[in-house]
Amino acid sequence: MAPSIQHKLDGHLRLINFVKSILPVTEVAVEVANFGIQAIKTPGIQGEENQQGEQAGFWNLREYILHRDGHRCQNPDCANKAQNPVLQIHHVGFGRNDRTNRPGNLVTLCDKCHRPENHQEGQLLWNWKPDVKSFRPETFMTKANDMWFRARKTTGLTSG
């Protein structure tokens, strides 16, 4: 389990135990839910489509990133005037132990912009952020759903 998720769960359990220590609480109800990220992104999606992620239909992650970025260098100051520039995929968080191959950490750059001198202390020289919505709260709740039912026994309370 990710430390951040464990920390949030532990915080909830500490709060319950604190309230239990000062009030005569015998039962607690915690509302949790599972979230379907594909259903959130695409309302009305059903069946097999619901099992396919945002990269469905693309040969690989590189092809998806190029498509998402319109096959253009994402550097706002790009001076490359080539008619067909050589495009590369770059890890945005390459210097912070964040070399994950997820779309939110990858950006399209041309060969002129994707060079060591255009990077500084592990970051791009411009503040690039992908146009990708984060689903961290939904993912946390889905993970916490199962964890809560296992962890509630440590509180000595029944679920409501």
Three-class DSSP labels, the chain:
CCHHHHHHHHHHHHHHHHHHHHCCCCEECCCCCCCCHHHHHCCCCCHHHHHCCCCCCCCCHHHHHHHHCCCCCCCCCCCCCCCCCCEEEEECCCCCCCCCCCHHHEEEEECCCCCHHHEECCEECCCCCCCCCCCHHHHHHHHHHHHHHHHHHHHCCEEC
pLDDT number for residue 160 = 45
Say what percent of the chain tops pLDDT 70. 71
pLDDT for the residue numbered 31: 73
Residue 91: beta bridge partners?
Answer: 106
Strand 87-91 to 123-124 pairing: unpaired
pLDDT at 87: 93
**Cα Rg of the chain, angstroms:** 22
Distance, CA of 136 to CA of 113 (rounded, Å): 31
One-letter amino acid of 50: N
Low-confidence ranges of the chain (pLDDT < 70): 1, 32-34, 50-53, 93-100, 117-134, 152-160
